Each structure stands twice: as structure tokens, then as C-alpha cells.
Amino acid sequence: MLTDVLLVTKVLNGERDYFDILIKKYERVIYNYIFNITLNKEDSEDIVQEVFIRAYKSLYKLENKANFYSWIFKITINTMNTHFNRKKQYIPLEDNLLIDVSCDINDTPEEIFKIKEENKQLLQKLSVLNQDQRNAIILKYVQGFSYKEIAEILQIKEETVKIKINRGKKKLYDLNKNKAK
């Protein structure tokens, strides 16, 4: 497997084709991340394309080439923020946005429906968090990044990440608590 360092170096040396390998390597995880948050195929397609276009154009700014993975997440989050600031909404809660969800071909309609419902419920819960808390919690619990990686992606201190995640946790806990009352 070619390392990211090598791939990035090759691209920066003018060997453009190596960027295709980088795309192939990461498009799936990026697309899935975006899709899990937007639940909208069109938005996800737009964003994933924009992410890699941005990444290509600013590749020369990547200081530590070994960090390509977290760097591309950084771009993804920025792109999503811009995208949804433009649209003035972040989380789609209307049912009709879920219609064109693409699922695995082998899934039964019931399974597809279940997945959609679960995602929707989760996003509804997470909508009590502010944008930073939500990003941090999703990166930690959905994507499984470490605190250190999240700090890099969100360009904040590791301690701040922990604080944000803890606050987010508390909010989610309080939400359930209030519901129980």
C-alpha cells in the first residue's frame, strides 16, 4: 500500500494521477461521514466532490503529509459548514429529505426503513448540540477518532475537545432526563 506521504509527494511533484489513488482511498469514508449527517444524497454528492476539489487545490498547504486523513476531514467539516451556512440549515428533519437515501442493494425495504429511522432519530437528538459539540461527538463516536485526531481536525486543543465532548454528553443526558420527567 502506498503511504499518504508518498502519494501526496508524488502529486506535488506534478504526477497528477496519484491524486486519483488518494480519492479512491478516502472517498468512501468521507462520503459516508457526510451522508450520515446530511441524510441527503444530493448534498452528499455535492459536498464530497467539493471536498476533493478543495483538497487538490490546497494540497501544497498540507504541512505534515502523514496527516492527510485528518486533514481531509478538516476540509470536509469546513466544506459542510460553508455548504449549510449557504443553505441556512444543517440537519434535515423533514421526512421528504429521506426519500432518495441509497442503501445496500441487499437490504430489504424494512431494513432500509429502519436505518433511515435510526439515522433520523439520532440526528434529531444531536440537534440539541451546538455545531462544535456535534462535530466533536460525531467524530468521536461515529467515526471513532481519538481526542488527538479530533483536535487536529477541528484545529482546537485536545483539552478543548474533551470539554466539548463532555458538554455534549451532558446535554444529551439532560435531554433524556428532561424527557423522563
Partner 1 sequence: MKCNMNMLFDYIDGNLADENTEKFETHLESCEVCRETIRTFKLMETVGEQEYGVTVDVVQSVKNYTDKNMYDRKKYVFINKYMSNRKSFIKYASLTVIALTIVGGIIINNNHGFKDSVKDGVIIDAFKNKDFDKELADNAKSIVNTSYYNDFVKVLQEKGYQIVEGSFAGGPIQLPQNLDREGKNIDVANILNNGNKSSISSGLDFSGYLGKKVMLLTCIKEEPNNNRKEVICILTKDRIIGFWEEQILNDNKKELYSYTLLRDLKVDDFKDGLGNISSQDTDFIKIDNLPQFYTVEMARSNGDVLLGLSDNNNDRFHKFLNDYENKVNSRVRIAIYHIKNDATIVDLIYDGDGIKAIINETRDPSISKEIYGTKEYKVLNINKKNKNNTIFYTATLENNTELILAYENEK
Q: Provide the binding-site residues for partner 1, judged by CB under 8 A.
A: 9, 11-14, 16, 19-20, 23-24, 27-28, 31-32, 35-36, 41, 44-45, 48-50, 52-54, 56-61, 63-65, 78-79, 82, 86, 102-104, 115, 118-119, 121-122, 125, 137-138, 141-144, 166, 169-170, 172-173, 176-177, 179-180
Helix and strand numbers, DSSP H then E, in the chain: 8, 0
Task: Please check whether residue 81 is in contact with residue 131, taking contact to mean a CB–CB distance below 8 angstroms.
Answer: yes
**What is the smallest separation between the CB atom of 37 and partner 1, expressed in angstroms?**
10
Task: Please check whether residue 132 is in contact with residue 107, taking contact to mean a CB–CB distance below 8 angstroms.
Answer: no
Task: Please check whether residue 27 is in contact with residue 48, taking contact to mean a CB–CB distance below 8 angstroms.
Answer: yes
Q: Helix (H, G, I), strand (E, B), or coil: what is residue 107? A: coil
